[in-house]
Structure 1
């Protein structure tokens, strides 16, 4: 597969509105589901040390995953749907009536037994798998596979006697013979020139992402990756994945026709290089918990007792975890007070008198808190201001 063929074909298909998903049918939670899974997937690809990857958003179905940002030789096209409860039905996914649909429960006697009506395929083009199949067939040269991915499963019979409910992921060719035959007929109705639809390249996949807790799997995956690559930054896993979601969110809102493949990558794509740059930026930020240990060592050398230092360390860890989760009104009020106090005074050479003076001011304002907690919150704010000032100085330089 040459550079021109692979890239040019991706551009051609991406510029055809028939093969893209706008996200409107998902609703806000559905779009968020797709974005958070995309971050999870990028972390998965990075952990596997893939040489390169590119994710295109709402260009070909919901997400198209290419094995290269410049010279694609293989693609995966994802139709991504979240479901709040239950499982996916055959009719919703395929637009046809299941071959094993239960007979009518009507108790009215029949005068005569009519032969079964042949299946109709009017709804197949608008079904999830119908759209996915049409997208795959838009590619003539680039090898491509399609994946219907959801947090919910489905319960379709497989040829081996088991069910998709317990055997996902699986391909559509793994389904029971009657279901395979129906799908072959349904897909042939979409592309009459293709007499033998290839069901092997169409897959069903379930992911363990709950619609009410989209962030957890991505944060857990990021934590594993950061532990491996930069263990001193593990406390920033949540911030890292949230920043990635913010970076990819605008990509799914761009619907203008792209004149070149490079334009498509720039407007709607996220590359492995961009992912690694985000990871490198994280590694360049001083870890606040490491800086805390430096401050505590200095305070110990200036005579602060071990019990107080231990309590401050515990409370600072809690404050940092609270910060990563967004904090609360009271913690933000303390932070604001600390920021103002710090801004009005120069940083000292000796830390202990500085901390003692700050503690006295904090106790007047927040007398219901333990001293170690107030010291911990003050130190973490002072560290944050130091880090931010250094970052600003570096960017200006």
Structure 2
């Protein structure tokens, strides 16, 4: 929605005007002289709250800037969603005052610095790669620049063809950059793999990411500037390669959760230490929430529609963070139980060993690295808990369970058996679902 401060009435006069207008209604815009007003705002560098949203809406509705599906299918989309959660965690760790992520709107993900008054845009292509590194030709759609040749040979060489640049990864990002007239915008190529391109410093982008395209070796910068310039309107300035960046992330395409959970654990350890144990469920719930976004790619008539259909905001992120307060804190219960066991006469060294083993069990759950070999042990604990009632004291109950566990799982130490039994018992008591 676009809400100008004044309505142009001709002869240099303006009347105060506050009613919202649908920016897609060309007739109203022409009637009220709105293009003239927007042109003034752009020329003077004045971008109102709704004018920024209006430009994002216009760009998001442009055909050809958004990718759907693709050769990597669902696995590639999963990679994008896990990265998006990682990005939200990063922004929250950086104390960003506000943010909004739009999915399948102007490339894979578009990041705004505000839901209400966007004044900056970052456009992301997020691509997984199962093996190897990204090559120059795949990223740009053109052949590598020739090595140093004589002037005579250069004069006979055919002019490079840029017909396939628009379909390349960097070509698509440049088209997205060029679609914005006013809002400051940057574009990022995000992947788990490096990019095999030489740098001006003598290194290689594969091992020196993040970097901008302006950091490439001079001959690559020269050729890439020409290639991307071919996508611009006639008379446009050469592309600013500092606005296009490459970044590598430590998300494995076959197991994307581990790195994201670790980052969430770091955030929760600071923000909500009593609920750090819910890091895995926290990020998994976020992935579930954002997965449907962007599936519907119909043209949106308003910015509000765009946000509702494809957006996820900081407010929603904080709501998910706040929801952790309603989740039982297993670690707190464990501390109470261990204190009670020691009070009832359990050996201090046994209690200490249980605490250490329980910490390892929690780490397994957080990182999703629980070994399949312990699943039968967990199943046995659950079954035993269903079949045996406890009395007023904890110690006799734990000792009875340990006796049964020793028979079935003699290869485990007592401390680990007790710790795993305790964690299963706590889950059954306070979080049965």
Report the counterpart of residue 120 of structure 1 in structure 2: 161
State the match for 1:147 in structure 2: 188
Task: Give the secondary structure class of the aligned counterpart of 1:191.
Answer: coil
Decide which of 367, 383, 389 is 2:426's aligned counterpart.
383
Confirm whether residue 8 of structure 1 aligns to residue 54 of structure 2.
yes
Structure 1 runs not aligned, ≥5 long:
104-111, 393-397
Question: How many pairs align?
Answer: 381
Distance in 1 separating the partners of 2:373 and 2:204: 52
Per the alignment, residue 22 of structure 1 pairs with 68
Closer/same/farther in 2, CA of residues 9 and 347 from structure 1, 3 Å limit: farther
The 3 A distance-change label for structure 1 pair 87 and 301 is: closer
Aligned to 1:80, the other structure's residue is in SS state strand
1:290 to partner: Cα distance: 2.4
- CA-to-aligned-CA distance 1:57-82 (integer Å, 9 cap, x gap): 22111111110122211100012223
Structure 2's unaligned 5+ residue stretches are 1-46
Give the direction of change, closer, same or farther, for the CA distance of 1:367–1:16 in structure 2 (3 Å limit): same
Matched residue, 1:55: 101
- In the alignment, the residues of structure 2 paired with residue 375 and residue 323 of structure 1 have an alpha-carbon distance, to the nearest angstrom, of 17
Aligned to 1:133: 174
In the superposition, the TM-score normalised over structure 2's length comes to 0.77
Q: Give the distance between the partners of 1:137 and 1:91, measured in 2 at CA.
A: 22
Q: Could you tell me which residue of structure 2 aligns to residue 198 of structure 1?
A: 239
Partner of 2:349: 307
Distance 2:397 2:357 in 1: 19
Distance verdict in 2 for CA 1:207–1:373, change over 3 Å: closer
Higher relative contact order (Cα pairs below 8 Å, separated by 6+ residues): 1
Alpha carbons of structure 1 residues 281 and 195: separation in structure 2 relative to 1, 3 Å: same
Name the Cα RMSD after superposition: 3.1
**CA–CA distance in structure 2, aligned partners of residues 55 and 385 of structure 1:** 37
In the alignment, structure 1 residue 80 sits paired with structure 2 residue 126? yes
**For 1:113-262, what aligned pairs fall within 5 Å after superposition?**
115-150=156-191, 151-158=193-200, 164-165=205-206, 167-199=208-240, 200-262=242-304
- Check whether the contact 1:147–1:202 (CA below 8 A) recurs between aligned residues: yes
Q: Secondary structure at the match of 1:31?
A: helix
Runs of 4+ displaced beyond 6 Å:
none
Match of 1:354 among 388, 397, 400: 397
Q: Any conservation in 1 of the 2:194–2:205 contact (CA below 8 Å)? A: no
Are the counterparts in 2 of residues 188 and 194 from structure 1 also a CA contact under 8 Å?
A: no
SS of 2:188's equivalent in the other structure is: strand
Once residues 248 and 415 of structure 2 are traced to their aligned partners in structure 1, the CA distance between those partners, rounded to angstroms, is: 47
Distance 1:300 1:154, change over 3 A: same
Tell me if structure 2 keeps the 8 A contact 1:90–1:156.
no
Counterpart check, 1:93 vs 2:135? no
Separation in 1, partners of 2:389, 2:207: 64
Distance 1:342 1:88, change over 3 A: closer
Report Cα offsets for 1:69-113 as digits up to 9, x if no partner.
Answer: 22211100012223344433322222223323588xxxxxxxx99
TM-score calculated relative to the size of structure 1: 0.83
Residue 208 of structure 1 and its aligned partner are, at CA, apart by: 3.9
